[in-house]
Structure 1
Amino acid sequence: MPDFDVLCIGNAIVDIIAQCDDAFLETNGIIKGAMNLIDTKRAELLYSRMGPAIEASGGSAGNTAAGIASFGGRAAFFGKVSNDPLGEIYAHDIHAQGVAFDTRPLEGQPPTARSMIFVTPDGERSMNTYLGACIELGPEDVEADKASGAKVTYFEGYLWDPPRAKEAIRQTAKLDIVFANSHEIKSLYQTKSFDEALAAIRKDCKIAAVTRSEKGSVIVRGEETVTIQATTIRELVDTTGAGDLYAAGFLYGYTSGRSLKDCGDLGSLAAGLVIQQLGPRPRQNLRSAAQLAGLL
């Protein structure tokens, strides 16, 4: 029996989340709804201008690992932090959520990555990310026992650019499933048509799960198409982590041998719950929520 359901590989980032209005974004040259990579100077400037904030361990794949653990799945994570206060916060949080995380921290510079996330009243988040120690993740950080003892290896697209991180991924995985939102697949295939992009991605991978915000999601496998409804929510608070938690629910279902419809419904539930709170990781037990919804 495999030791882990899912091994997640990604940027280990501490999210610093604050609410603001659109005027603040405009004044500070922040592109609304985008993820912008920033340098140390820009990070210090934005942090000095932030209002009251909360700190929460984040990073796309880390959020997914935490979600899988909340469903009751066995999750592991590879990601690089530094031996500093934010690195200690990150390690504590991910361990507390039941995820196996043993990547050796970096001694010295650069410091642990952080993302300053500004959430506007409409729930949209604008991310400004300083990667710091993340860029030091490399092949030497691959733990062979975890890599070989996982049913699925999941990595975030942000890691495909740095050469050392790419080499670490190549040691652990081959591409079978792609998660993306509708904007990302249209950009990938350079088309304005969602249907054209979906037809293209259907041919390029075994399974593709494409999220469409309030329109739910579409899952394709060969000629099979499964349409998933979005979870009804009371209030949109913060969209941070929605895609990450969708992947968590889907992969928990997938590694449990469930149908694509069940996988999508679990993903939709997790995404719908996380966007009703501030922060990218679920505050309530996802397994209990899924049982209450009749999905488990």
Structure 2
Amino acid sequence: MNHFDLYGIGNALVDVETRVTDQFLSDNKVIKGCMTLVEAARQNELLDQLRQKIEHKSCGGSLANSTIATANFGSKCFYSCQVADDEMGRFFHRNLIHQNIQSNLDSTPLPKGDTGTCLAMITPDADRTMNTFLGVGGLVGPDQVNLDVAKSARICFLEGYLISSEYGKEALHTIAKSASQSGNICALSMSDPMLVKYFRDDFLALIKDGVNLLFMNEDEAMELTQAETLTGAITWLKNNIKQFVVTCGSRGSLSWDGETLFETPVPTINQLDTIGAGDMFAGSFIHALLKGASFDTAATIACYCASLIVGQYGSRLEKQNQDKANAFVVEALNR
């Protein structure tokens, strides 16, 4: 059996980018600057109008973005998800293969239905308005888990969004327990502060089952710890979580390896688009750990790679920036 560096599981979404006018948003009653969850009919209505204007498509979803980032640095990755047997689903699968990522889609017939999509509508002022339809991607559960791969992977990475469904929750616990029994790293992305607010007890139960590395931003850390200050949150985390990373936007990150708290700044950049910054941070941090880096070095690498993402449009590094990131990673790992 092939052994993988990273096993990830999450919601599959095809990211669709297009440029629109403010008038288009107004005419279609789309709330500008927000992320709105929509049903299939609404998403298809908009996609039908914009089909000739689509500029870019890529396989996405938070954990998919992180897994692809890790793979693009050279780590061997496997990703579990769910897409439908439709145009978008087949595209998602082809895109994973193009990124050299193996998945459960390689050997499992795709179901009927609609693949999840995230439609990003960019207005002339560079603002991004997103409509998200989860589709069959929201049905990820135990049937999508490849436990043999998860057991053998050096790091398992779980997407917090899955905790909002009973199927997803069961899948997360199955993998966390397996990682705990095998003594491997089981990382979890907290995904969204509102998710942590409403599913805090579920997250704590999952951590108890075997999650030993948390990725979160400041707001998620505050919700999880119920602290009134970031300092208080860090104290709680150090006492209750084996290892963690808290991203702090333009101020960098705080990472705890179980013994030392590292404060890592972000390089000064011209910020254009923050979409995907957290996903890139986690993916590059995990790649660095797989290469034997300390948390200090991993955070330095992750902050740099995240700065490249926010200095461009889109959640995938452009070739020039990927080359810069690759060179930085090699230099940092060899120091």
TM-score band w.r.t. shorter chain:
0.7 to 0.9
| Pairing of 1:107-186 with structure 2 (within 5 A) | 107-109=111-113, 111-119=114-122, 125-173=128-176, 174-186=210-222
User: How many Å apart are 1:287 and its aligned residue?
Assistant: 6.9
Between Structure 1 and Structure 2, whose CA radius of gyration is higher? 2
> Which residue does 1:18 correspond to in 2?
18
How much has 1:162 moved relative to structure 2?
1.1
The structure carrying a bigger helix percent of its residues is 2
User: RMSD over aligned Cα, in angstroms?
Assistant: 2.7
- The 1:223–1:289 alpha-carbon spacing in structure 2 relative to 1, beyond 3 Å, is closer
Task: Give the residue type in structure 2 aligned to 1:8.
Answer: G
Instruction: Give the secondary structure class of the aligned counterpart of 1:295.
Output: helix
Residues 190/23 of structure 1: CA separation in 2 closer, same or farther (3 Å cut): farther
Q: Report which stretch shifted further, 22-31 or 207-216.
A: 22-31
Q: 1:203 to 1:22 in 2, by over 3 A?
A: farther
- Deviation digits for residues 95-132 of structure 1, max 9, x if unmatched? 111111233253212x1100112346776644321110
What is the rounded CA distance, in whole Å, between the counterparts of 1:193 and 1:24 in structure 2?
Answer: 42
For 1:185 and 1:124, locate their aligned partners in 2 and report how far apart those are by CA, in whole Å: 27
Taking the aligned partners of 2:95 and 2:238, their CA distance within structure 1 comes to 37
What's 2:312 paired with? 277
What code does the residue aligned with 1:73 have?
S
Check 1:290–1:24 CA distance in 2 against 1; reply closer, same or farther (3 A cut). same
Deviates more, 1:94-103 or 1:117-126: 117-126
Range that drifts further, 200-209 or 68-77? 200-209
Q: How many residues are paired up? A: 293
Aligned residue identity for 1:161: S
Contact 1:253 1:263 in 2 (8 A): yes
1:251 equivalent in alignment to 2:253: no
Using the TM superposition, name which of 140-149 and 238-247 deviates more.
Answer: 140-149
Cα shift readout 1:28-82 (whole Å, capped 9, x = no counterpart): 35363x5432212332344356565421111111111111111111111001011
- Asked if 1:295 is matched to 2:332, the reply is yes
Segments of structure 2 that go 5 or more residues without pairing to the other structure are 177-209
Query: 8 Å contact 2:83–2:111 — kept in the other structure?
Result: no
Tell me the secondary structure at the aligned position of residue 187 of structure 1: helix
Helix, strand or coil at the partner of 2:327: helix
d(CA) in 2 for partners of 1:123, 1:101: 34
From 193, 201, 214, the counterpart of 2:237? 201
* Structure 1 residues not aligned, in runs of 5+: none
Q: Identity, % of aligned pairs?
A: 30
Task: Say whether the 8 Å CA contact 1:2–1:151 is kept in structure 2.
Answer: no
Give the whole-Å Cα distance in 2 for the aligned partners of 1:92 and 1:271.
26
Q: Bigger CA drift: 82-91 or 45-54?
A: 45-54
Q: Which amino acid aligns with 1:204?
A: N
Aligned equivalent of 1:232, options 268, 274, 281:
268
